[in-house]
Structure 1
Amino acid sequence: MATELNPMVAEGSKMVTSYGDGLFRFGEDSVAGSILMFPEAVYSWNVTSVDDITVDSFARVIDAADTVEILLLGMGNRLTRVPMEWRSALKEHGIVIEPMDTGAACRTYNVLLSEGRRVAAAIIAI
């Protein structure tokens, strides 16, 4: 069952309006599967569980380091410890990773984006 969100408006930005059933919705648009999300764009992310993630999984985020200071990591339904290797690789580029479950990542992303923060999200579909 999809969970509906009532996001605050951030003009011209992609915000999550619902998630669940393996989908993320952004108003009229939707993406199936896990996503990498930036204010201006959403990309499919070839990850189905935390076990699939490597440092290379964050390459697109690292490439956007000049516009990202916080990376929210939506880890599905279970929160696990983030390996130091991931933290170090991102910190080297000035990015702090914040792990949380997928629902919290969607909600937090919308709030930080509406506050004008330099945020991105890597979110595993549930």
Structure 2
Amino acid sequence: MDVTPLIPQGRQIIESYGGGGFTVTGEAYRGSILVLPDWTGAWPLGGIDELNLESLEPVLTAEPPVEVLLLGCGAAMAFIEPELREAARARGVALEPMDTGAACRTYNVLVAEDRRVAAALIAVD
């Protein structure tokens, strides 16, 4: 029995990470990135300590709206300030911090389920 998930047409899929970058739907990216179901772009954060509400604005204003934002914090999960979580929640987005690898895998599962998910991923070596 084939258990390969069916990916909805036109969705961004994270194929690999590491070495300071990512491959998403056949395109290579250096550094940190934002991934939404319908687009991927550079994210100018060098580390999770630079995270603030302004850095999440492309996700918070996405159309259609994102429900869950997976925060790939780098090599290990990091603490996210409660004020930042609350500010994102007030805009309808739940923040879920985890290490970058877990965020990549979780994003792919949720996008295969056609969920409105995004990933903000700090690059790892």
Structure 1: tracts of 5 or more residues without a match: 1-5
Deviation at 1:44, TM superposition (A): 0.4
TM-score using structure 2 length: 0.90
The CA distance in 2 between the partners of 1:43 and 1:56, in whole Å, is 16
- Give the one of 82, 86, 91 matched to 2:80: 82
Identity %: 43
TM-score using structure 1 length: 0.89
Q: Is 1:13 paired with 2:6?
A: no
Deviation at 1:66, TM superposition (A): 4.4
- Give the one of 20, 24, 29 matched to 1:31: 29
Amino acid at match of 2:112: S
- SS of residue paired to 1:67: coil
The CA distance in 1 between the partners of 2:96 and 2:29, in whole Å, is 23
- Runs of 4 or more consecutive aligned structure 1 residues displaced over 4 Å after TM superposition: none
Aligned residue-pair number? 121
Shift of the 30–23 alpha-carbon distance from structure 1 to 2, 3 Å rule, reads same
Could you say which residue in structure 1 is the equivalent of 2:67?
Answer: 69
State the superposition RMSD in angstroms: 1.6
- SS of residue paired to 1:11: coil
Shift of the 34–7 alpha-carbon distance from structure 1 to 2, 3 Å rule, reads farther
The CA distance in 2 between the partners of 1:108 and 1:28, in whole Å, is 19
